[in-house]
Amino acid sequence: MQMPAAFGVLWLVQLLLLKGSVVGANFARGAEKLEALLDTETLLIDELRDYIDRLELQLEEIRRETSAIEEIHSRVENVEEHMGNPLNVLTILKRFDTVWPKLEQQANATHQITFGDGLSDRDLTLPSEEDYEESLDHLLNLQSVYELEPASLSLGVVNGLKLGSAMSWGDCLEMARKSDFSVAKFWLETALEKLPSASENSTDSEGERERGKVQILEAALLMEFRAGELSRALATVEELLLLLPMNQNLQRAKKKIEKAMTKKELPKGRGQKSKTKAKVSG
């Protein structure tokens, strides 16, 4: 889940719309938590800047070491003559024994980022799964009371006013999962629209787009089947099979939907036949 993207919308909407003593008390607790989260984020930003500074120092040291080795290496005009000197042999062996391992370690360290002793081991205020679920519930209540549109709400816009940050496709999907089908379908549409566009050619964007589309369609399939929307469920499972043609669970789901559709049609035909027989015997 992508929690941070949702919190701006969820808490700021509550700030402007929620009224009443009980709700006000609940929000006061939520505002305290949000303030603590902002303090945590400030600390993390500071530590990230420190990390960048340390990283630049590491890179500068790697540059210096590489330049020094390169200068020595460039002096070799005749390999046999150079390596015939025991001192040169000793020097290159020492480089492979000490300098290169050190450079490798430094290079590997540039890919690692740790905030002090790690977030989970520190006395920091961090959002919990319960906080996230509670925020989604509050937003659903607000949407219902004020008849807010998922498309604009997901952008942080309420009644034409920009009140918070945009939600991610994952946030919209979670909203759909917690909603009745009549509302969920709009959240699912919004989630699909928020997936990375095909114009974004990076491997990460393409992977997220495919993964997200599968998750959203799977959620839609389950909701449509439970709601008795069998035609829509069949269309959804067929779309999923285009993405995952070898998925046996989807193949079984398609057969189950087709069977349910057949059963749904049979009673009507049998009833008419039975009624006709009754008229004939009468």
pLDDT at position 279, please? 45
Helices within the chain (DSSP H only)? 3-17, 21-74, 79-83, 86-94, 100-109, 129-146, 150-153, 169-177, 181-193, 203-226, 230-243, 248-281
Q: What is the mean pLDDT of the chain?
A: 78
Distance between CA atoms of 281 and 276, rounded to whole angstroms? 9
Average confidence (pLDDT) over 118-146 = 74
Q: How confident is the model at residue 80 (pLDDT cuts 50, 70, 90)?
A: confident
Residue of 156, 142, 183, 145 lying closest to 7 (CA atoms): 156
The more confident residue out of 115 and 172 is 172
How many angstroms separate the Cα of 34 from the Cα of each of 6, 18, 154? Answer: 12, 16, 19
225-241 tens-digit pLDDT: 999 999 999 999 999 99
Nearest 5°: the CA angle 220, 178, 32 is 140
Q: How confident is the model at residue 224 (pLDDT cuts 50, 70, 90)?
A: very high
What 3-state DSSP class applies to 162?
A: strand
Structure tokens at 81: 């003559």
Query: Could you tell me whether strands 161-162 and 157-158 are parallel, antiparallel, or unpaired per DSSP bridges?
Result: antiparallel
Q: Is it the case that residue 133 has pLDDT exceeding 70? A: yes
